[in-house]
Structure 1
Amino acid sequence: MKIVDLLKGLFIIVLALAVLLWLYGTFNNQPLFVTTAMWMGDALVMIPAYLIPSITGWLVKSPRLQKVILINVLGGWLILPWIIAMGMAIKRDDLRTQD
């Protein structure tokens, strides 16, 4: 089984659970369930957004993938390291001119 298929399945399961918790909490006057569902929905959006440089580096097969992941995971919550990691992930080495 590929990792992408596994992540898609996990995403769908968590999304379905968030929707069910939200519906249950809304119709049974359980605000804790609604709050939990909203936190789960936020996590489903924010975690992939946080890891965009790492995902991009993996998709373009960057030779600096390990450095990108390290910078992204350890400092990506700050804006500057996230931008640096994104720049490293999309930097093209094959565009250098031959001298």
Structure 2
Amino acid sequence: MMIARWQFTAKFGRKQEAIDLIEEWNQQIGAQTNIDVSKARIVTGSVGVSEGLVENEMEINGLKDLDDFFSKIASIKMHGEWGPKMGEVIVSGSTRWEVFRVV
């Protein structure tokens, strides 16, 4: 099993909007993928990390699951419409994926 985390920095004063958009994405877009996003966790920065940091963390079986996930979201029209809304509340260039192996 692996953990895939999509992380970004929310603009000052807009973290809750970003969290709301991630929750919307999980329910309406992520639910259409091969990954069970009902178990996804959203975590935010608190101590020792940027307070604006937000991560959407999900379990995957392996990197093929993540590759299939990326292919699927690219084909979902709602994902393309959601992106510009998200772009308004996050710091440009702050997004990244991290993948961890569970031992």
For this structure pair, what is the TM-score category when the shorter chain's length is used for normalisation?
under 0.3
* Bigger fraction of residues in helix: 1
TM-score (norm 2): 0.27
Higher Rg: 1
Q: Structure 1-normalised TM-score? A: 0.28
The structure whose residues are more often strand, as a share, is: 2
